[in-house]
Chains A and B, each alone.
Chain A
Amino acid sequence: MKLSKIALLSFVFLVLCVSNLQAQMKRERYQTVTTYDSAFWTSTLYAQSTTHFLEARNLNATIMHSFGIATSDVIQNLFGLDTSPNVRLGVDYGITDRWQAGFGRSYFLNVVDLRSKYALLRQKSDGSVPLSLAIKGDLGIVTERDRKPFKDDLSTLLSAVFSRRFNDMWNFQLSPMWAHFSDTGQGEVNELFSIGLGTQVHLSKRFSLAAEYYPVLGDRNAGTKNAFAIGLDIQTGGHVFQLFLTSSYWQLEQYVLAQNTDQFSAGDFRFGFNINRVFGL
């Protein structure tokens, strides 16, 4: 009787060992908390910075265009496409996953701008951080021959971008911003304030609608209007193409605040086209 018990226990032990080793492992998903760094698809909506960040060692090349007013002399100017566009060529580089820097050059006034952005907060999928916050700075330098001293060719933009991804479809952001121009003309002010608003609605993995608005608060340059843009973004994996209508000729936020004289709601808008291409280095 005793021997039979030992035999039984030995058999059970052997079966357990063998079955434990032979059984296929249960497939279990890797659990991780993700941050919504790519809730917005690009580092800028159409001119307004977002909380999208390049991953470390990624380079983003951008070509940004905005053409002439699309609604005047429609046939002669082919919806403004015949009018000389303002084009900004630029690159941004992800120094870390939270910090990127770049530079660009705009055709108008030959403005060269240096910019950097840092992620202070990144919204997390588990809700422990409910929103993203980035700070951004941009230094613009007019390089056009204007017979001004260098110090009068400078403009600065500082902003804080608060954003939230509400669900798979909808992101919204609010950007208090301060712009400063070292030299201004008659009827212009040195400092401008705004609380920029931006949103993106993802229609699918490929397409999204986006809009941005720049209500200037306090003193403003004579004759300027609050800028607005709305458009369609197309994402292909490495490229993001942006097709939009905008009131402003400019792709630099400080100039959008200071120079926009067209009222979108009155029909004064132009066609814009941006190409973003990310390279992994």
Chain B
Amino acid sequence: MDKVILSYIVLLFLFPVVSPAQAFKTETGHVEFHSTVPLHSFTGKSNHLVGKISLPDSTVDFYVDVHTLKTGIGMRDDDMMETLDAENHSFADFYGKLISSFDPTSSNVQKATVRGKFSVHGVSKQVMINGTMQQTEKGLQVKASWTLDMTDYKIKPPSILFYRVSDTVDISIDATLPNVK
């Protein structure tokens, strides 16, 4: 019996143990979106993107409180919150897996692909997003961008008087995730 248990302990320590040093987390990532209306375009930004990446199990988890997105015009922000029904759906988030390989010992910029569920406005869709990851002194730097079709998420683009906001919105994130101690 003791031999079985001893074998189990040895196996446990031979098996790649999940190390906290291989997990990264930030609460100050940058996210922005770019939207267009006729003869005009605007950008919304937030520096309160929360993200966590665990390399051993390849999980990627990001979210932002949409109330923190600012376009530079207060009234337009109010409009955006109404459009997103922010009181009932406060977060835009992604939860999924890193499906490309990543070498954590390299400091080069490496292409990365994640697949998972992106949710906003209370609607979730499976998405695949391409970006880059790089080990830096400050942590794991992640950059990604993709285009979101608001109609996929049942977001009705505002259309009032002179406005007709485009259905598609370009989204990008830029975050450096320090090691989780």
Contact = CB atoms under 8 A, between A and B. Distances in A.
A and B associate in one complex: yes
A235 interface: yes
A63 B6 CA distance: 84
B2 interface: yes
A11 interface: yes
Interface residues of A, number: 34
Contact of B57 (A21, A55, A278): A21
Interface in B61-92: 61, 63, 65, 67-68, 71-76, 78-79, 82, 90-91
B52 A239 contact: no
A234 to B, nearest CB: 8
A280 interface: yes
A3 B158 contact: no
Interface residues of B, number: 43
Greatest chain B CB density within 10 A among A3, A57, A278 is at A3
A6 B5 CA distance: 9
A266 interface: no
29 contacts: A3-B2, A3-B5, A6-B5, A7-B9, A10-B9, A14-B12, A14-B18, A17-B17, A17-B19, A18-B57, A21-B20, A21-B23, A21-B59, A22-B57, A24-B95, A25-B61, A27-B93, A37-B74, A55-B73, A55-B74, A205-B82, A236-B160, A236-B162, A237-B158, A237-B163, A238-B75, A240-B75, A278-B73, A278-B76
Interface of A: 3-4, 6-7, 10-11, 14, 17-18, 21-22, 24-25, 27-30, 32, 37-38, 41, 55, 57-58, 205-206, 235-240, 278, 280
